[in-house]
Chains A and B, each alone.
Chain A
Amino acid sequence: MPKVKSLDELRKLRDQVKDDISTRIETGTTIIVGMGTCGIAAGARETMHAIMQELESRQINAHVRTVGCIGMCSREPLVDIEQAGKPRVTYGNVYPDMVPRLIEEHLKNGHVVDEWVVGRKTTDDIGL
């Protein structure tokens, strides 16, 4: 099968996005998905996939990061949303079918989905 995607295409994409990197890193949104054994077994990979698909379909430029186990295994899949100047919010038992509402309410409307929250961390808590 001939390859459609090539490194030349990637280089063109690089040139398109290079200018806005610093702005995005400083002011953007990062969604963090726990990817320890407990998270993977609970479906964290599928949750991460659903998050990436939702961001792509809504054309939301947010970073997605994976981290190891943080010890709250019974609440996996765990998803943190971190936005500049706002408390970091940890959501528990986030399954793929919950992702559209999470993105709509938290990222689009700016409202925390309280019934799914398992923790909040202010910038003071994390020493910023």
Chain B
Amino acid sequence: MRELSQHILDLLQNGLEAGATRLELDIDDDEQANLLTIRVCDNGRGMSPETVKAVTDPFFTTRTTRHVGLGLPLLKAAAERCGGGLTIASTPGKGTEVTATLVRDHIDRAPLGDMAVTLMGVLLSEHECDLVYRHRQGGEVFELDTAELREALDGVPLSHPQVRPWVQAYIREGLDGLNGAGA
């Protein structure tokens, strides 16, 4: 995958496929510590310790539609090649937390890329789910809580054709305010 935001979309989709009703995404872009940390937390069905050990094997998947599961192995490889790593914590029945840490200025670090479109990919999912997104960069924070948006919409779906462009523009505007997020 060319952008970290594509890996992030994949992680969020994993949460949706696991039946999550709430997803949390934290991106901490810490220039001083020279670290980029991505954390995705879901309240889906969770995994047993045996499954957690197996999920970074590309030939393991819980899906029945195919026999490989490349998402987490690809992210693990992307993190490790940038001097970072991947940790997975999961509790059956409670959910899963995946954290990827990458050395920010590593020559092999992929750009974060288009986070606004990544988030739209989740908000338009057939599995409706609340998403809390916090993006910290240079002492600034952009926070999006879809529960707030849904409350304001009072029954009108976030995916409504006339609402959808507004939501995407709202996210873009918030990220632009972080001076360079998405670059």
Listed in ascending order, the chain A residues whose CB lies under 8 Å from chain B are 1, 3-5, 7, 9-11, 13-14, 16-18, 21, 24, 32, 35-38, 40-41, 45-46, 48-49, 52, 55-56, 60-71, 73
Contact A69 B66 (CB under 8 A): yes
In the bound complex, what is the Cα–Cα distance between A69 and B173 (angstroms)? 31
A-B contacts, 14 of them at CB < 8 A, read A3-B177, A5-B166, A5-B173, A7-B148, A10-B163, A17-B163, A37-B70, A40-B6, A48-B120, A49-B114, A49-B120, A52-B120, A70-B65, A71-B65
**CB distance A56 to B126 under 8 Å?**
no
A69 to B65, CA, bound (A): 7
A60 to chain B, nearest CB (A): 8
Name which of B80-88, B93-101, B153-161 contacts chain A: B153-161
B165 engages A56 (CB within 8 Å): yes
Evaluate whether A21 and B65 lie within 8 angstroms (CB atoms) in the complex, with A52-B164, A63-B161, A67-B126 already known. no
Q: Is the interface of B mostly helix, strand, loop or mixed?
A: helix
Q: Which residue of A lies closest to B75 (CB)?
A: A37
Report whether B66 and A16 are in contact in the complex, using a CB–CB cutoff of 8 Å. no
The chain B residue sitting closest to A36, CB to CB, is: B13
- B32 proximity list for chain A (CB < 8 A): none
The one of A13, A45, A66, A69 that contacts B162, using a Cβ cutoff of 8 Å: A13
| Inter-chain contact total with CB atoms closer than 8 Å | 122
Chain B residues within 8 Å of chain A by Cβ, number:
46
CB closest chain-B residue, reference A17 = B162
Residue B121 CB within 8 A of the other chain: yes
How near does chain A come to B126, taking the closest CB pair, in angstroms?
Answer: 5
Q: How far is the CA of A3 from the CA of B154 in the complex (A)?
A: 22
Chain A residues lying within 8 Å of B156, measured Cβ to Cβ, are 14, 17-18, 21
In the assembled complex, B79 has its CB within 8 A of some CB on chain A: no
In residues 132-183 of chain B, which contact A (Cβ within 8 Å)?
148-149, 152-157, 159-166, 168-170, 173-174, 176-177
Q: Report B153 CB to chain A, min CB distance, Å.
A: 5
Q: A69 vs B177: C-alpha distance in the bound complex, in angstroms?
A: 34
A60, B166: Cα distance in complex, Å: 15
Q: Which residue of B lies closest to A9 (CB)?
A: B166
Task: Look across to chain B and name the residue whose beta carbon is closest to the beta carbon of A56.
Answer: B165
Q: Is B35 an interface residue (CB 8 A)?
A: no
* Minimum Cβ distance to chain B for residue A126 (Å): 14
